[in-house]
Amino acid sequence: MSIPVDTAHAAAYRSRRIPEPLQVTGGVWAVPVPLGDSPLGYITVFLVETGDGLVLIDAGYEHPSCWKSFTATVAELGLDLAAVRLVLLTHNHPDHVGFADRVRALSGARVVMGRADDFAHQRSVRGGFLVQLRRALDMTGAPPEVTDAMYRAALKVAKHSESLEPDLTPEGDSEHVVGDVTFLGLHTPGHTYGHTVYIDTSRGVVFTGDTLMAEGPTQLAVPSLPGDDPAGDLLASLDRIRDLDVQIACPAHQFPYRDVAARAAELKAFHQAELEAVAKLLRTHRTAWEIAPHLRWAKPWDELGIGGKRFALIHTLSLVLAAGR
């Protein structure tokens, strides 16, 4: 169990309320941004003070309400968005990249995202998100009427802009210096193929995006090409985070917490147990569609809606690919 940096922030998350902004440690601000009707409730973006302006980690949805809430909170904190020098994006999901362009237009900041998650590069290698999703659904072994229904439902909620053009797209690890602060970008695939966590080396803080939450599992990337292994990628990424010399983790959802190494080890053990369960099921079952109902989800399989089953099925596919290696 993770140790919250602030018990009130954690309590708000657990009671499904949007927390107040939080000074995580000196010069590091957690800014919860409401996500409207999304079941996620909110995303936490982070602002870091340096001797030469601010650094923003992640950028909410591209929606007027998100921008309005974010700018209002930043003003209340007495910070100036025009002082943002760098925008570090942990990955390319729509709740993380949304208003990066707005911040860049306002401040002239550089926008950074891992090369494998850069939309233009992604399209050239594996296609857009919906292309990947269609391909993955067809790999699950589910009946065509099921995959067709899941895909149609996804069109209503998963279609999003893929137009953002970052200024920098590092391939692998990277280093970014702003004023007196050095940020190390650590390539940590698993949730996406270009997922990157960023370490503020002067404060001992790691911004973990969606790779290492305070509680619960990590949703695995959509496997759509031969050789894709999101589960194996994630286990290796968790080892890398576990071995960091940091004191605080700041995930994009839930709440900031301490005891980062223990949490990374705990999450790795959880996903290893998932892989072991799938390996056993593969003795008598062949496909992700056959296996998914036998795994443990937030709700029993039969109670999951079509979107929940889609997430569970893709996650299971990633586990099947890893367990079958």
Q: What is the dihedral angle through the alpha carbons of 25, 190, 91, 203, rounded to the nearest 10 degrees?
A: 20
- Per-residue pLDDT for the chain (325 aa), expressed as one digit of tens each? 699 999 999 999 999 999 999 999 999 999 999 987 677 789 999 999 999 999 999 999 988 889 999 999 999 999 999 999 999 999 999 999 999 999 999 999 999 999 999 999 999 999 999 999 999 999 999 999 999 999 999 998 777 889 999 999 999 999 999 999 999 999 999 999 999 999 999 999 999 999 999 999 999 999 999 999 999 999 999 999 999 999 999 999 999 999 999 999 999 999 999 999 999 999 999 999 999 999 999 999 999 999 999 999 999 999 999 998 7
Quick check: 248 and 5 in contact, CB under 8 A?
yes
CATH at 205: 3.60.15.10
**What pLDDT is attached to residue 41?**
84
Asked if residue 232 belongs to a domain, the reply is yes
Asked if residue 83 belongs to a domain, the reply is yes
**What pLDDT is attached to residue 161?**
86
Asked if residue 219 belongs to a domain, the reply is yes
**What pLDDT is attached to residue 63?**
86
**What pLDDT is attached to residue 284?**
97
Q: Quote the pTM value.
A: 0.96
Asked if residue 322 belongs to a domain, the reply is no
Quick check: 278 and 291 in contact, CB under 8 A?
yes
Containing domain of residue 100, as a range?
Answer: 3-127+165-265
**What pLDDT is attached to residue 244?**
97
Tell me what the pLDDT averaged over the chain comes to: 96
Asked if residue 60 belongs to a domain, the reply is yes
- How many folded domains does the chain comprise? 1
Asked if residue 100 belongs to a domain, the reply is yes
Asked if residue 181 belongs to a domain, the reply is yes
Q: Which of 141, 96, 81, 83 is nearest to 324 (CA)?
A: 141
Quick check: 278 and 323 in contact, CB under 8 A?
yes
* Rounded CA separation 57/16 (Å): 23
Which percentage of the chain shows pLDDT scores above 90?
A: 93
* Rounded CA separation 72/53 (Å): 19
**What pLDDT is attached to residue 35?**
82
Asked if residue 254 belongs to a domain, the reply is yes
